[in-house]
Every structure is written in structure tokens, then in C-alpha cells.
Chains A and B, each alone.
Chain A
């Protein structure tokens, strides 16, 4: 009787997590959310591109500018620093898939030691995400010191809005990663928890692909 009740509860639990398509409903929801995020970032990138080159006053992203008072502003974008932060974010995506593989294959041969540890890869991903945020904080601070704020010109408004939204998404991802790392340290993530890491990984990789677009359209194309 108790076993039947438990089996019923288990079945109900599975019904709560899997749809008639046989797919996990949280994973479907995450893909739908990512779809909506595509449109959000599509609108922000469109706004940036529409306003590109229409700022009346500087500083400008790729060209030097002399103000009416004679003050000279150099091109504001720092490509070497942003290239380094791009590399860090790309590597974080590698760390993320290795964390997922470590959780999915926990206990299997080849997944022992530090390189098979989900804790190590989750911590590495969170650290890479935090490093990216550090680069962005440095970039924003240096821009403000060089005279570019969100109110300075159209470039400043669209640039800070676009990259600020992206940075906020990275910050949310880092908090999510640290939460999963805490759970892993507390009770240990098992293969049955892989779906939770899979969903988090989808979000993290999406943040990465958005940056791939921003890096090319905002930083590299003059």
C-alpha cells in the first residue's frame, strides 16, 4: 500500500516535470525564455546599430574627437582588454560543458580526480564569469573617467544599455553557478541532477553567444 502510494507520488512527480512530448518542461521553458531573450537582445543591438555614427559630440568608439574647448578625446574602445575578456567568456563555456559532463558521468571511469570534478568546473566557470564582470567594471569605469557616460551622446546611451544588460545577465549567471556549486559542496550533485546543470548551461552559453555578436558588431566593426 505504502509502496503503491510512493509509486503514485513518484509518477505524479514525473508528470510534473515531463510534458506529453516526453521533454522536460523546465528545459522547454528555458529554450522558450532564450527565444524571448533573442528578441530582447535583437532590439538592443538594432538600437545600437541604428544610432551608430549619429552622435553629435564625442567621445566616439573608433575615432578621436576634439571638443569645442580644444580637449582631445582618443577613441574610447580598448580592443586588447575586450579581446581578453572575450577569451575568458569563451573559456567559461568550455568549463561549463565540462561541469555538465562531470555531473552526467559522476562515478564513471575517466571522471575521477580534479578534472572529473563538477565542483572544480563549476567553480572555474563562476570564476571566469566573475573575471569577465571585472573586465566590464574596469571598462565602464575607464569610460566614465575619459568622459563617456550614459548621458553623453547616442553612442554612450546605446552602448551602456546594451553591454549593461549583457553584464547583468552574466551577473545572474554567476549567482546561479555559485548556487549550484554550493549545492554540490553541500550534498554532491548526482547524474539525476544533470538536468539542472543542463538548464543552467543553456542560459550560460546563451550569454556567451550574445557576447560573440556584441564583440563583432560593437567592438570590431568600425
Chain B
């Protein structure tokens, strides 16, 4: 019983060094793409700029949370503890933007 308790949150294997380095490389590439997009006036002035920056932001956020914070591998309770408040924060943000005429 006690052994089960001790190991319950370490049941799933964490990523390997190689996977961690791939994750870092992808984060670097996406960050370079974000900054590169910022310096292209034609792209900045287009309607695709904001969605593309937001998309890259979400991808980076998800990669860090899933692989570096081990949410992909850890217990589902941790996922609920994180995604619940994150959803509330996201809804609050969108509600405020709507209320103040930003959407």
C-alpha cells in the first residue's frame, strides 16, 4: 500500500534527454519564427499575423506543459487542477475583451 503511494505519481516514465532536447529545438524554432514574422511588414499588416502569433504561442505553451511539466505523463488529477483554472482564466480574458469592446 505504502509502496503504491510512494510510486503513484511516478508511475509513468518521463521523457528522455533526447526528447527534452528535441522539445527545446522546437521551442527555439517556433520562437525564431515568431520574431521573424514580427519583422515582415507585409505579414504584420495582414489578417494572418495575429492568428499565426497566437497559434505559435499556444503550440509553445502546450509543448512546455505537456513535456517539461510532464502533464502528458502524470496523473489525470494534475491535468484537471491545471486545465480547470486555466479555462476559467481564458473565459475571463475573453469576457473582459468582449465587455470592453476589444472583440
Contacts and interface: CB of A to CB of B under 8 A. Distances in A.
8 contacts: A22-B4, A31-B78, A45-B93, A94-B23, A101-B14, A101-B20, A216-B34, A217-B57
A50 B102 contact: yes
Interface of A: 11, 14, 18, 21-24, 27-28, 31-32, 34-36, 38-39, 41-43, 45-47, 49-50, 52, 79, 83, 86-87, 90-91, 93-94, 96-98, 100-101, 104, 195, 198, 201-202, 205-206, 208-209, 212-213, 215-217, 220-222
A111 to B, nearest CB: 9
Interface string B17-39: 10011011001100100110111
Given A18-B6, A87-B28, A101-B17, A216 B64 contact: no
Return the 10 tightest CB-CB contacts between A and B, nearest first: A42-B89, A22-B8, A35-B85, A216-B57, A18-B5, A31-B81, A94-B24, A46-B96, A38-B85, A50-B100
B102 A49 contact: yes
Interface in B29-86: 31, 34-35, 37-39, 44, 49-50, 53-54, 56-57, 60-61, 64-65, 68-70, 75, 77-78, 81-82, 84-86
